[in-house]
Chains A and B, each alone.
Chain A
Amino acid sequence: MKKKIVGIIVGLSLVGTLYAGDYQSKYAAHATASAVNFPASRGSIVVKALHAESDKAAGVAKVYARTGSGVTVSSANDAGTTILVPNVSAQFVATDLIAYQHADGTVDYTTVASTNTTVSIVLNDAISQAGTAKDRVYELSQQGQFDVAAATVSYIGEAVFTTPNDSPLRVLVDSTSAGYTTVTVLTDQ
């Protein structure tokens, strides 16, 4: 009996360690489009605080996450625009929103310019650093929206938004000439 209890406690302790997650914050201040990008982790990313300002009457915070599955690149890519990645079922097509996630967690957001048969895609922006064979490519779609308008707003709570598992998160606030956003998340939930 004693062994069982000890085992349960040790087990719970390990589970707590494995799934504790991390709080992370990101901030962007740009004239017309302030965006922050968080890398995918094993579980969901939960937005705990979204604070934003815009000077645009129709200003909104658009929230993006993966649509479909993330795909591992087929080989290490140079820091360019042509990305070797399986595209057998034409998962990626021109104008798709893309998060290229490096193995170190760096996320490059861009769009697809064109696709080259089933073995590569061409991005509209070069990736920011040389890649590795472990990098992942995620197609994104808008999965949430919060009103900002020409104002400063805060959305704070236990779960303002959650991504699917294994999904990057992008929050974009549009503005006319002045805006910013601060986003805090908890990962691996």
Chain B
Amino acid sequence: MKHLKLPMILALAVPMITSYAGNWESKVSTAQTNSSVNFAARDGRLVIKSLHAESDKVAGVAKIYGRSGTVNTVTTAPASGATTISVANVSAQYVANDLIIYQHSDGTVDYTTVASTNAATAIVLNAAISQAGTAKDKIYELAQLGQYDVGAATVSYIGEAIFATPNDSPLRVLVDSGTNGYVSVAVMTDQ
């Protein structure tokens, strides 16, 4: 029995520790004009630990987007390149110009906007999805939930929690710039 003590303790302690460790992830965009990064929704909240950005625009800001409203699962798997997405839109949750994250079941996220809606059963996107979908894919409507100043400068915001999304929400950070900008963001999932 003595030999079982340590394995048992480890078996209980390791999951306990790892369950609160979360997952770290970083993304960078050097798109020069309006650099943006998109993180897929995961269980829990996404917490920004570091936001580093550059802009050449005096009024440059980092706009932070997260989920607004409820999340819907697509009703029929769309083909790669599709713009018409079958999804419940009963209460006209989605309207033209809505900001949308189409999240594939493998975690790939496609950011776009709604071009139009088709009755209560489908929406038409302004950009095609990047790969074939599955019936487990999700549609998130986004809203701006935070903002940090950049200006015509290079800035860093680093800390325990610069920003936190709601539960089950993707995260999008967009830095507006003229012809020279980039953004680098590190997040942790808050389990």
| A interface residues with partner B (beta carbon < 8 Å) | 2, 5-6, 9-10, 12-13, 16, 20, 22-27, 29, 48-49, 51, 53, 152, 154, 156-158, 180, 182, 184-186
Contacts and interface: CB of A to CB of B under 8 A. Distances in A.
B164 A152 contact: no
B190 A23 contact: yes
Nearest to B188: A23
A65 B16 CA distance: 34
A22 B160 CA distance: 13
A53 B8 contact: no
Contact of A157 (B159, B164, B165): B159
B121 interface: no
A51 B159 contact: no
Given A156-B157, A156-B158, A186-B161, A180 B147 contact: yes
Nearest to B15: A13
Contacts, number: 84
A122 B12 CA distance: 54
Contact of A27 (B146, B162, B190): B146
Interface residues of B, number: 31
A16 B8 contact: no
A51 B67 CA distance: 21
A23 B13 contact: no
Contact of A182 (B47, B146, B165): B146
Contacts of A2: 1, 4-5, 8
A25 B190 contact: no
30 contacts: A2-B4, A6-B8, A9-B13, A12-B16, A13-B16, A22-B45, A23-B161, A23-B164, A23-B190, A24-B45, A24-B164, A24-B166, A25-B64, A25-B145, A25-B163, A27-B64, A29-B147, A48-B159, A48-B161, A49-B157, A49-B163, A152-B151, A154-B148, A156-B157, A156-B159, A182-B146, A184-B162, A184-B163, A185-B161, A186-B160
A6 B1 CA distance: 14
Contact of B9 (A5, A49, A158, A180): A5
B12 A9 contact: yes
A80 B66 CA distance: 31
Q: Which of B45, B47, B144, B146 has the most CB of A within 10 A?
A: B146
